[in-house]
Amino acid sequence: MLLRPFLSASAFFSLASAAIRFLTTEDIGSIFVLDENQDNHYFIPAVPTKEVNLIGVASDTHDKFSVATSIRTGSSPLSRRFLDAQFDAFKELDDVWNENFLKTLFIGFEREVNAFFDDSGKEWLLEKGVRNLYITRGIEKPIFKKANDLNIREVSDVPPHGAWLIRTRTANRNLLRAYPVFGLVEDDHKAFTVGAIPDYLHGGFITTNFTLEHNPGVQYIPVPSRLSAWSSAEMPLAGLRFAVKDIFNVKGLPTAAGSVAWRRTYGKANITSSSIQRLIDLGATLVGKTRTSQFAIGAQPWEFVDFEYSWNPRGDGYLTAGASSSGSAVAIAAYSWMDFTIGSDTRGSIRKPAALVGAFGLRPSHGTLDLDGVIPVSEVMDTAGFFTRDPLIFESVGRNWYKESDVINRSPTLRLPKNLLYPTDQFPLANSDAQILIEKFKHLLRKHLNIVSKPINMTEIITPHFPSQSFEKFHEASLRLSRFRIWHDVGKKLFRDFVNKFGVDEILDIELDPMPNLEFRKGRQVTQSDFVEALTFKRKFSNAMDEEVFLPHSKTCADSIFIYDAAAGGRPSFRVEELNDFEGATQFVLNSLPKGSTEGPKVEQFFHYVASMGGLPEVTIPLGQVQYKSPVTGKWEWMPIAVQVVTRRGCDRVLYELIRKLAEKGIVKAVQAGTEAYVRDSA
C-alpha cells in the first residue's frame, strides 16, 4: 500500500532538537522520519500498546507526538558508566533505536530498594539532551546544582525496552499513550509477499505492503526493535525476527502460495498454523511472509506466471536460489535484519536453497511438527524447517522449536557419531576449489571431533532398496506420492472452491505456473492404488535406512552421518535459463533433469531423496566460497559452497550438537548477508 499523505496540522513539528515529520498515514498506522536523519524511515501502529500514568499535575508537554526511549533496570547508582553501557548495548543489539529517541527517557526500577543518580549520571542526562525524565517509584528524583530545562516526573510504569513515540491522551493529560516504533527496511531482493505487524486489538497480524514515493517499486518491511528481548528474557527466542514461507497460515494474513487465484479464493487466514504459533509463543517476532514457487511445487526461476522468484544476493545477483523455499532462503541471505526464516521441505526445498545461498538450513525428521494450516505437497514427505546465518541461532531454534516432538529421540547424546559416510560416487566435485573445501571439512572433523571419513558407494548401498532395484521406479514412486496429494488436496480443491465462490464463467481467470499445470495434469492420472503402492515402497525404504544404513547407537543415537553435495558440484547455476549455457555453468537439478538431457537420472544427482523418502533429518552447512566467471558482469565473482549432513530418523539432536561443536571449534562460522557469504580474509 502506498500510504496517502498525512494532512493533519501535526504532520510536522519540533521537539527540542528532535523533529518528527509524518509522511503518510493509514488506518493501520503512520510513517515518519526524524529530521536528524531523513534516510531512516519509521512506522508506528495506529493503536498504542502501553498507557502510562503521570503522577501529579497534568501536563501538556506531549500534546503532540514525542520521541522516547524506555529502559528497565535493577541497578544503582544510575551512573554515567551504567548508562553508557546500557545504551552502547542498545546500539549493538538493535537496528531501530538510536540516540535521537533519548529526548524523553523512561526508567523503570525493578527492585525494592531505592536507586539514585550519582553526579556522573546527572551530567550524562544533560549531555545527551534529555528533556523529559520519567521515573518509577523507587528512583530518587535527581537534584541538580545548576538550573536546567530537564522536566522530571514520576510515572506509574514504563513501556518495555526500546524506541517509542508518546502522546498525551486528549481527554486525560495525565495519561501518556506509547506507540512502538518499527524500522522500515527495503525488500529489494523481492523475498517477501507481505510485511506484517501485530493486530493489537484482535490478535493475529495485519498485512502491510508499504512503498515510498522516492522508491515506489520496492516494498518496505516494518521491523520491530530487538530490545523487547530484554523484557522477555524467559522466552528463549525473544528478540529474534523471523519470516514464514507463504504456504503457512497466519491469522490475519493472506496465504497465496504463489497463486493469485488461491489468494482470491481463500483470502486471509482465521487461525495461525500451530507450528508458527509455537515460534511466537517462544518469543520470536514475525515480520512477514516470503515468496514461494506456486503451491511449493519445485520449479526453475523462469517458470512463473503470477509472482516473480526472489533474487539471490550472492555473486553477480543472477545465481539461482532454487526450489520452493527460495524466498525464505533469499531473505536470510540478503538481509542482516532477519535472524531466521521458515520454509518447508518435501524433496529438497530447504536444503537446496540453503546450499545455493550459503546458509544453515534444516529439514527435520518427518513428523516432528503438526503441519495443520500448511498447504501440503505430500503429507508423507512434508516437513517444516528453517534457515539462518548463525550456527548458535541454528542450535537455539532447532532445540526449542522441535522440543516437544515425540519423533525426536530424547536420550542424551553423549558424543557424536564416529563414522562419516563419504560417497565416492558423487565426490570429488566438478569444481576442484569447492572440493578443497570438502576435503578441509573432512580433515577438521577428524582432527577436532574424531569423526572419520568412510568412503562408500551410496548408489550401491541404497539401490537394493528401490522397487525392482530401479532408480527410475523409485523416482516415479516419489513423484506419485506428491502428484496424487497435490492434485486432490490443492488443485482439485482450488478449482472447486473458486467456481463455488466466483462462478463457472470465471474459471478462465485461473492462470497457473507451468509446473503446477503439469503436476495437476499428471496427478489426475495417479490412481488410489498407485498412491498406496508408492507409499508401500516409501515405508520399506524408510525401514531399510533405519535397519541397514543409519543404525542406532546407545551413546550417539546414530552410528554414522552421511555427507553429500545438494547444489551444483561447485559450479554456478543461474536464474536465467540461457545463462546456464555458458562455459562452466550448469542448470540446477530439482526433481527432474534439465530439458534436453541425453542421459537418464543418476542416483547421485538425487541424494536429497534419501532423507525425503527415508524421513531422515538433514542439515545444510556452509563451508566457504569459490570464484566463478560471471557471464553477466564479465568479472570473477564469489559463490557459496555448502555440504549436506544426514543422519538417522529421530536423531535431530545429533545435528544440533554437531553444529554447536563445529562453531565452538571454529570449523564453521556465521555467514554474512549480502553479495559474499564471508569476509574473504577469514573465509
Q: Could you give the residue numbers annotated as active site?
A: 245, 324, 349
Residue type at position 444 = L
CA distances to 165, 202, 231, 535, 667 from 96, rounded to whole Å, are: 13, 26, 16, 50, 32
How many whole angstroms separate alpha carbon 534 and alpha carbon 482? Answer: 10
d(CA 219, CA 189) in angstroms, rounded, equals 10
Q: How far apart are CA 371 and CA 376, in angstroms?
A: 8
Rg of the chain on CA atoms, in Å: 27
Q: Strands 50-53 and 151-155: what pairing? A: unpaired
201 secondary structure, DSSP code = T
Quick one: three-class SS letters along 272-315?
CCHHHHHHHHCCCEEEEEECCCHHHCCCCCCCCCCCCCCCCCCC
- Cell triple for 221: 518491511
* Cα 201 versus chain centre, distance: 26
Residues of the chain by 3-state class (helix, strand, coil), percent to 5? 30, 25, 40
279: amino acid identity, one letter: L
Partners of 531 in the β-ladder = none
228-260 in b/e form (b: 16+ CB < 10 A) is bbbbeeebbbbbbbbbbbbbbbbbbbbbbbbbb
Q: In this structure, which amino acid lies at residue 84?
A: D
Beta bridge partners of 152: 133
Cα distances (angstroms) measured from residue 451 to each of 44, 442, 447: 52, 8, 8
